[in-house]
Amino acid sequence: MRKPANRVLVIDDEPQIRRFISAGLALYSYSVTEAENGSMGLNAVAHIRPDLVILDLGLPDMSGIEVLNTIRSWSTVPVIVLSIQADEDQKVYLLRSGADDYMTKPFGIAELAARCEAALRRYHKSTDKDPVVRTGPLMIDLVSRAVTFNGRHITLTRKEYRLLHLLASHLGLVLTHNQLIKEIWGNSSPDNVQYLRTLVRKLRKKLETDPSQPKLLISESGVGYRLERHAATPSSKSG
Amino acid sequence: MTAPASFQSLFERVARHVRGVEGHLRFSAAVARLQGSEATPPERSFVLTLARTILCPLAAVGLTTVLMALVIGHTAFKFESIVYVVPVIVCAIRWGLGAAIVSVLASAAAADFLFMAPVYSFAISDPNEIFELGLFLFVALVTSHLTARVKNEVEVSHRREREIQNLYEFSRRLALCSTAGDLVEAIQHYLSIHLGCEAYLIRLAPPVVSNDKDTENAAVPDFIAREAKAMLAARPPPGSRVVTDPDKNAPWALKSITTTVAEHGVLAVNLGKYAGSETDKLNEHIDTLLSEASATLTRIDAAAALARANVRLESEVLKTALIGTASHELRSPIAAILGTASVLDQMSALYDDEQMRSLVVGMRHEAKRLDNDIQNLLDTARIADSGLTRHLVWTDPADIVTAAIRQRSHRTAAHKLNLDVDPVLPLINVDPALLEQAMGQLIENAVKYSPAGSEIAIVARAEDCQVVLSVTDRGAGLTEDEAQNLFRRSYRGRRHVGNVPGLGLGLWIARIFVAVNGGVLTAHSCGPGQGTIMSIRLPVVPTIAPELAPSSDAQTG
């Protein structure tokens, strides 16, 4: 559609999962390669040089974390981790270990496609000329620091802008509480989670149509926040 | 008798030797009772008493007199009265005070008659001899009294020792008891061997021991069984009572055996020939016995309960492990089905085909339901093997509500959601994932038990020192039975079984997840058809107002 097809490598031992991811991502114009275990996956990462890796944590030959660490030792390729029932600590650990995002099974293909796109955009951001981030009615100009909502100018405090900037530059991806706190306050005392919550609440009041039902600033329980991408899906919205 | 030799002190051996004939007689009487023969007839015991207190002392004195007469024939012997002290002491030791007094009188008479002038007459001519005879009477009486007392004390202490030894043996035997049947046997053995009493134990509904040896209840006389049952039925139960055998006119003592844990039964003891003050002693004895026995019963019951609990625990652990593994294995295929359905949903080929699309929607709906059930089974397994750990984070209650609604968005489409979230709720330090699950479950239930198109109100507000999250529906409401049992594991309202699918786990899990966070989950309904309000109440710990913190928060252009 817009660019040459991005190559995605799916590392998962369940054939039916691989099959639906392949078929689904093909709808979003990705070209998909499959690997059924960790060693084949690592081999494929080295040889076909994918633009994105989708990695299942429960592999038969080695743990997903091990595969992630090995990939990270020589590649910065975006990695999205899949798992069945990961607790919050595990998610935070994965994100700290270099995963770009995670998805808990079961999930719909639209969600996965959105995460893939977000991860790829973030990865290619350095080469991206456009400094303006758009999601739904919100527009953030990362250079002029101007924020508009439905074309109306929004005034933000310094900390509010800093938070929005961080989330916007990772549009569609989750940032952990600690990452945000460190960037905004310069330290990561757990007490600061309260300040972060308060800051998010203030920001929502300015950006959300209904602050009690946020559509943009989404909380990922126990993990962090995500600025949701809107109006970027190829077809009508789905579950 | 396997009593250790250390118990048989020298003292005891001396005493037994001294006790002589009487001890043997008593022992053989006990054996006779044991063998089922009648007790010693009263005439015989009278003859024995007569022999012991009169004939034996007379014989002893006679023997002494004959020996002395032989000696005096050769030498001038002037110490008759002192020699007569010997049979007196022997009689006191052997046959007691009565026999001793008889021997004193007989000795005095013999000495007077045979050795004091005038010989062969009870008259005494020499005043010295009158004095001597008086002195003899005094010394002999005092000696016999003292000797008899020593003898008594020896006997008493010997009996005590024997009793202690028997009790010791009894408690050793109790320690080996593993069923109530063994215990009954031990008590009966003890009472019959050592006290010569008939005894029965009537157990209170003993299903655990019914397959034991038939030592109980089989031979219990009717009247005892009747009385015992009445005793066990009485509230509060009497400690003990005495009943009389209508046939043999013998008194029986009935004593209830109770422990701190429970009542165990009644012990019936035939008091038989024990009478008067001896009954008190026997009672005391039996009480000691019972305190030992009830401790053993407690132990036996505890051991049985422990064994049962162990079996239950093992099967529970197994079940939980099975659920955990099975659920995990089931989730992968469901993830594949749901993923595939989501792909089909986006296929342009299906867009125009209304029928195909509805099939895919149906498939996705059912798979989600299955996934929800499996999630509940997994949570149950987690709770059951106490794998539930909290990850406390300062959380905005509004985020919990939002996440729960998002989590159940596929279920709420047909209902009118009415959301009312207080914009300035205090932050709470909780595990948001667990509370989202709980809140999601409340929404799920509201959807399940209220008609499509009806309103579901979701409210989050602050109240005193609490944050209250509530879900109100206009559906089936709760019957009294449902309101009481709602939060029990695997409970399902009778009205809904068969109509509304479910495992009866959701609310049970929700309640635990809320409780783990220090909160309370409550349900309120005005009755069937009146709708239900489910509320999660979470405590708010006052902290520094976070608004005050970011002080350098200046405006940007």
B405-429 pLDDT tens trace: 988 888 888 999 999 998 888 989 8
More confident site: A92 or B44: A92
Question: Looking at the complex, does the CB of residue A85 fall below 8 Å from at least one CB of chain B?
Answer: yes
pLDDT of residue A185: 87
Chain B residue with CA closest to A214: the answer is: B402
Last residue of a domain, one of B382, B400, B429: B382
CB B307 within 8 A of CB B201: no
Q: Contact B394/A161, CB-based, under 8 Å?
A: no
Report field, pTM of the whole predicted structure over 0.80: no
Same domain, residue pair A11 and A121:
yes
Closest CA of chain B from A202, distance in Å = 10
| Number of domains making up chain A | 2
Same domain, residue pair A217 and A109:
no
pLDDT of residue B381: 78
Residues B107, B138: Cα–Cα separation, whole Å:
12
Chain B residue with CA closest to A239: the answer is: B410
pLDDT of residue B212: 38
Chain B residue with CA closest to A236: the answer is: B346
| A14 assigned to some structural domain | yes
Q: Contact B395/A197, CB-based, under 8 Å?
A: yes
| CB nearest A157 (choices: B433, B543, B554) | B554
**Per-residue pLDDT tens over the stretch B41-71:** 556 678 888 888 888 888 988 888 888 888 7
| A1 assigned to some structural domain | no
Q: Contact B394/A197, CB-based, under 8 Å?
A: yes
| B292 assigned to some structural domain | no
Query: Which residue range is the domain that position B62 belongs to?
Result: 5-170
Q: Contact A14/B336, CB-based, under 8 Å?
A: yes
Q: Give the residue from B270, B285, B244, B280 showing the smallest Cα distance to B39.
A: B270
Closest CA of chain B from A74, distance in Å = 31
Same domain, residue pair B87 and B15:
yes
Residues A197, A190: Cα–Cα separation, whole Å:
12
| A239 assigned to some structural domain | no
Q: Contact B371/A106, CB-based, under 8 Å?
A: yes
Q: Give the residue from A20, A29, A76 showing the smallest Cα distance to A50.
A: A76
**Per-residue pLDDT tens over the stretch B207-258:** 433 333 444 445 677 777 777 777 777 766 667 777 777 777 777 877 777 6
pLDDT of residue B76: 59
Q: Contact A219/B546, CB-based, under 8 Å?
A: no
Closest CA of chain A from B544, distance in Å = 10
- Report, as an integer, the average pLDDT of A77-98: 88
**Per-residue pLDDT tens over the stretch B143-197:** 888 888 888 888 889 988 887 888 788 777 777 777 766 777 777 777 777 777 7
Closest CA of chain A from B424, distance in Å = 9
Q: Contact B433/A222, CB-based, under 8 Å?
A: yes
Q: Contact B553/A157, CB-based, under 8 Å?
A: yes
Same domain, residue pair B125 and B12:
yes
**Per-residue pLDDT tens over the stretch A98-152:** 999 999 888 999 999 999 999 998 888 755 567 788 888 899 988 888 999 888 8
Q: Is 70 exceeded by the pLDDT of residue B31?
A: no
* Contact map slice: A 4-43 vs B, CB within 8 A: 14, 16-17, 19-21, 23-24, 27
For the ranges A46-50, B236-240, B243-247, B463-467, which has the lowest average pLDDT? B236-240
Same domain, residue pair B472 and B361:
no
Query: Which residue range is the domain that position A106 belongs to?
Result: 6-126
Same domain, residue pair A98 and A135:
no
Question: Looking at the complex, does the CB of residue A156 fall below 8 Å from at least one CB of chain B?
Answer: yes
| A236 assigned to some structural domain | no
Contacts 24+ apart (CB under 8 A), B539-546: B539/B428, B539/B465, B539/B466, B540/B426, B540/B428, B540/B462, B540/B465, B540/B466, B540/B467, B541/B428, B541/B429, B542/B465, B543/A194, B543/B427, B546/A194, B546/A195, B546/A197, B546/A198, B546/B427
**Chain B contact probe: residue of A212, A217, A238 with most B CBs at under 10 A:** A212
For the ranges A25-39, A208-222, B103-117, B292-306, which has the lowest average pLDDT? B292-306
Closest CA of chain B from A226, distance in Å = 13
